[in-house]
Amino acid sequence: MAAFRPIANTRSATGIPTAKLAVWWLLVSEIVIFGGVLASYLMHRLGHPEWANYAVHTQTAIGATNTLVLLSSSLTAVLAHQAAQTGDGKKAAKFLLATIAGACLFLCFKAYEWHGEIEEGFVPWTNGFWAFYYTAAGIHASHVIVGAIIMAFVAKDAYAGRDLHRVENVGLYWHFVDLVWIFLFPLLYIAK
Amino acid sequence: MSVAHDHDHGAHDAHHHEMSFIEKYIFPTDHKYIGKQYMFTGMFMALFGGFYAYVFRMQLAFPNMSVPFFGRVSPMEYNAAITQHGTVMIFWVAMPVLIAAFGNFLIPLLIGADDMAFPRLNRLSYQIFLVSAVVLIASWFVPGGAFGGAWTAYPPLSADARYSLTPMGSSMWLIAVALEFAAFLLGGINFIVTAMNGRAPGMKWNDVPMIVWMICIASILFMASVGPLVAGAIMLLFDQNLGTNFFDPRRGGDPILWQHLFWFFGHPEVYVVLLPATGMCAEVIPVFARKKLFAYDTVLYTTIGTGVLSFFVWAHHQFVAGIDPRMANVFTITTVLISIPIAEMVFLYIATLYGGSIRYTVPMLWALGFIFAFLIGGVTGIYLGASGADIYFHDTYFVVAHFHYTFFPIAFIGTFTGFTYWFPKMFGRMMNETLGKIHFFGTMISFNFIFLPLFATGLGGDHRRIYNYNNFPELATPDLQNLRILATVALLVLIAFQFIFIYNTFYSMFFGPISGTNPWKATTLEWTTPENPPGHGNWPPDNMPTVYRGPYEYSVPGREDDFWPQNQQS
């Protein structure tokens, strides 16, 4: 069945496009989810100075590389948005594919990193630090996966020239995922 | 924007599209059917919630008797019954009925739209909610039994099956709650976006009916408060199943962290369900007082003020949990402060009544009953909000009576207010007025006889979490036991009166007198639909309403009619 679009969806009493408004509210709900994890982690980290001894074992180099990968993928997301604004759906789709590639690269690094850590015996139930490390990064990684899947759908439509406004919306989500990592990286890796 | 018209097969064609039975009733995208699905699922779950209340009240009044329809209640079953009663009533009755059912049904109709902004997202929200209800019900029948760690699920009890003794029940409970949160996050985004963007031409912010404001503000509160608990639920699930150590002190975790995450959500949650209920009063009282809502702007600002303050009161649930006494002082102040906007709102409703030509219809009786009952709940809350007093009252039946004087008015009196008021719009027929009044007085009187005695037993020292008071000689006195029996008998009476409501609902749905499109002579847009109940799309697509004035223009001097619909040009 073709997508049915009610009149309510086509109105814009605030002047903000409806879909974009919804993505912003989605991000509001996501901010408090990650806010809850990070606030809990921060309180515990401050209360347990000895966690610095565990944080030593995180691999800052891989974390930094992943930061670079995610930031670059945000750049391609912006370029996709720019292409979509000029109406070039095919170009937008290509940039979205580049963003998906960034997401996959990020996940590969993450898998390699976790593999090494688990080999060394650092598992989620080792202690509080590792529990937060895996939970926070794991929730983030699940957002990376979901974002990549959604971008694949958006790219498919954009390639056919349909629903180009979605390129910007999925980009908003992707920047948010990126931003969360910007908080996770110093808190989990740099703070030793 | 380009969003607007890039689909030529838009609303116009779909309006004439004939829907199959499955499209219409099983997987509808029409907001009215999704609203009804939420409504009836919620009411169905209320039967379970009520049954559990009956089981544990019978055990408390008549210890160790064989409860009819249940049998003897074991201590484990008792714990499971109180846990599931609380969980069901809050997450599967109050939330779906007050926010989701009324939100879905009312928001598009009251803002003059044909549907929600995202109808399929709306359908997904209900489907996730339905799955969550199925998971919860399934968790009652798994080996080990249903989770019995109270609806607050405090660790360490909830964090380890060796303590809770419900290895599957506790995880399934948690998954059900998390799914339910996901459903309401989706629904909430839809509500807020629809109300912000989908309003009829001419409808300014202060032309929006109060119930729409209230449901949207409640959705924002939910969205902004539930996040930490979603994270906490994931952490607790890991504690239960992976052996991580977030919350279990034996493994180096911190059980107070859960209490913070839980109550950071749990207290705003009270206001999440309260606001729609007060919003219904704001709709019903002007209609049956034939008078403009007193101080629309002030009602709105007190609502927003309540919402903001509600994020800073949560630790009043933890006064005896070992938090810093200086922090307890801060939370005492914020807790007592929050009674100011709520009291102001009550005064504004009473001011609306002043000088009106009041009609005691069934919805009006419920609205007035709400104000009366919630007032008692609010006033007793001030005792508990003061940390000095709370140290003595904590975990007694005084607390139980207090929050039932808030939650029962919200979840049931508020629902009955809205349900009896919008019934003609939902089903096109009127409910029976006499049966409605019998139901109202029966419910109100028996409700007070349940919980007034519990204030007394609480002050007499009754602790909340006791299975059999005969094991505590100083509490097993005839005086206290008689009060417990009184409360239980009143509960049985209350349950009996609900059958009148169920009969009235289903009889009137099919055989009640046809109501016409505007039986109450109200001004808001839902009463202006050409068909009743409104058809798919609510209004003809080429004749959507335009708004010219505020929602409460009653008894305007110089006009022939005493109501002036929002969409009437002059």
Cα of A96 to nearest chain B Cα, Å: 20
Task: Name the CA dihedral angle for B524, B527, B533, B535, rounded to a multiple of 10 degrees.
Answer: -70
* pLDDT reading at A3 higher than 70: no
- Is B252 near chain A, with CB under 8 Å? yes
| Residue of chain B whose Cα is closest to the Cα of A47 | B254
Burial (CB count <10 Å: 0-12, 13-18, 19+), residue A46:
exposed
Cα of B71 to nearest chain A Cα, Å: 42
Residue B23 placed within a domain: no
- The Cα B420–Cα B476 span in angstroms is 42
Residue B21 placed within a domain: no
Cα of B17 to nearest chain A Cα, Å: 11
- The Cα B266–Cα B269 span in angstroms is 5
- Name which of A173, A37, A39, A30 is nearest B223 in CA terms: A30
CATH number of the domain bearing residue B222: 1.20.210.10
- Is B225 near chain A, with CB under 8 Å? yes
Residue B210 lies in domain: 34-543
Predicted complex ipTM: 0.93
Tell me whether residues A8 and B244 touch, CB distance under 8 A. Answer: no
Residues of B in contact with A19 (CB under 8 A): 3
A82-131 pLDDT, tens digit per residue, is 999 999 999 999 999 999 999 999 999 999 999 999 999 999 999 899 99
- For chain A, the straight-line distance linking the first and the last C-alpha, in angstroms and rounded, comes to 54
Out of A21, A37, A139, whose CB is closest to B197?
Answer: A21
pLDDT attached to residue B21 = 76
Residues of B in contact with A164 (CB under 8 A): 2
Q: Would you say B363 and B285 are in contact if contact means Cβ atoms under 8 Å apart?
A: no
- Name which of B327, B476, B483, B514 is nearest B401 in CA terms: B483
pLDDT attached to residue B19 = 67
pLDDT attached to residue A12 = 92
Residues of A in contact with B245 (CB under 8 A): 125, 127-128, 131
Residue B148 placed within a domain: yes
Residues of B in contact with A10 (CB under 8 A): 3-5, 10-11
pLDDT attached to residue A1 = 37
A30's tokens:
């996501």
Cα of B11 to nearest chain A Cα, Å: 5
Tell me whether residues A22 and B118 touch, CB distance under 8 A. Answer: yes
Burial (CB count <10 Å: 0-12, 13-18, 19+), residue B450:
buried
Q: What is the DSSP string of B225-288?
A: HHHHHHHHHHHHHHHHHT---SS-GGGT--HHHHHHHHHHHHHHHHHHHHHHHHHHHHHHHHHH
Residue B521 placed within a domain: yes
Residue B486, Cβ neighbours under 10 Å: how many? 18
Tell me whether residues B223 and A163 touch, CB distance under 8 A. Answer: no
Q: Which residue has the tokens 């911190």?
A: B254
At B520, is the secondary structure helix, strand, or coil? coil
Spatial CB neighbours of A121, under 8 Å, sequence gap ≥ 6: none
- The Cα B136–Cα B186 span in angstroms is 20
- For chain B, the straight-line distance linking the first and the last C-alpha, in angstroms and rounded, comes to 32
- Is B197 near chain A, with CB under 8 Å? yes
Spatial CB neighbours of B374, under 8 Å, sequence gap ≥ 6: B274, B277, B346, B405, B406, B409, B410, B413
pLDDT attached to residue A174 = 97
| Residue of chain B whose Cα is closest to the Cα of A24 | B189
B445's tokens:
């009187």
**How large is the C-alpha radius of gyration of chain A?**
19
Tell me whether residues B3 and A4 touch, CB distance under 8 A. Answer: no
pLDDT attached to residue B5 = 42
A27-38: average pLDDT:
95
pLDDT attached to residue B8 = 40
Tally C-beta pairs within 8 A across A and B: 168
- The Cα B471–Cα B478 span in angstroms is 14
Residue B158, Cβ neighbours under 10 Å: how many? 28
Cα of B544 to nearest chain A Cα, Å: 9
- The Cα B360–Cα B354 span in angstroms is 14
Out of B3, B194, B229, whose CB is closest to A8?
Answer: B194
Tell me whether residues B223 and A28 touch, CB distance under 8 A. Answer: yes
- Is B76 near chain A, with CB under 8 Å? no
pLDDT attached to residue B2 = 38
Q: Would you say A37 and A136 are in contact if contact means Cβ atoms under 8 Å apart?
A: yes
The sign of the torsion formed by the CA atoms of A122, A123, A128, A134 equals positive
- The Cα A80–Cα A64 span in angstroms is 24
**How large is the C-alpha radius of gyration of chain B?**
24
Residues of B in contact with A13 (CB under 8 A): 196-199, 203
Cα of B262 to nearest chain A Cα, Å: 11
* Superfamily of segment(s) A17-190: Cytochrome c oxidase, subunit III, four-helix bundle (1.20.120.80)
Residue B548 placed within a domain: no
B313's tokens:
């009161």
Low-confidence ranges of chain B (pLDDT < 50): 1-16
pLDDT attached to residue B111 = 96
Tell me whether residues A128 and B113 touch, CB distance under 8 A. Answer: no
pLDDT attached to residue B536 = 87
Residue A56, Cβ neighbours under 10 Å: how many? 9
3-state secondary structure A6-19: CHHHHCCCCCCCHH
Cα of A40 to nearest chain B Cα, Å: 7
Instruction: B434-441: list long-range contacts, CB under 8 Å, 24+ apart.
Output: B435/B500, B435/B503, B435/B504, B436/B362, B436/B504, B437/B362, B437/B365, B438/B497, B438/B500, B439/B497, B439/B498, B439/B500, B439/B501, B439/B504, B440/B362, B440/B365, B440/B366, B440/B369, B440/B416
Residues of A in contact with B238 (CB under 8 A): 124, 131, 135
The DSSP code for B554 is B
Residue B76 placed within a domain: yes
Query: Which residues of chain B from 25 to 44 reach within 8 Å of chain A, CB to CB?
Result: 29
Tell me whether residues B231 and A2 touch, CB distance under 8 A. Answer: no
pLDDT attached to residue B10 = 41
| Amino acid letter for position B25 | Y
What distance lies between CA B123 and its chain's CA centroid? 20
Reading phi first (left if > 0) and then psi (alpha if -120 to 50, else beta), residue B150 is in: left
- Is B238 near chain A, with CB under 8 Å? yes
Which of B197, B250, B314 to mutate to probe the A interface, most A CBs <10 Å? Answer: B197
pLDDT attached to residue B15 = 46
Tell me whether residues B11 and A5 touch, CB distance under 8 A. Answer: yes
Number of domains in chain B: 1
Residues of B in contact with A39 (CB under 8 A): 228
- Name which of B478, B361, B487, B379 is nearest B430 in CA terms: B361
Cα of A162 to nearest chain B Cα, Å: 9
H/E element, B66: strand B66-67
- Name which of B337, B332, B177 is nearest B261 in CA terms: B177
Reading phi first (left if > 0) and then psi (alpha if -120 to 50, else beta), residue B457 is in: alpha
A55-75 pLDDT, tens digit per residue, is 999 999 999 999 999 999 999
Tell me whether residues B116 and A2 touch, CB distance under 8 A. Answer: no
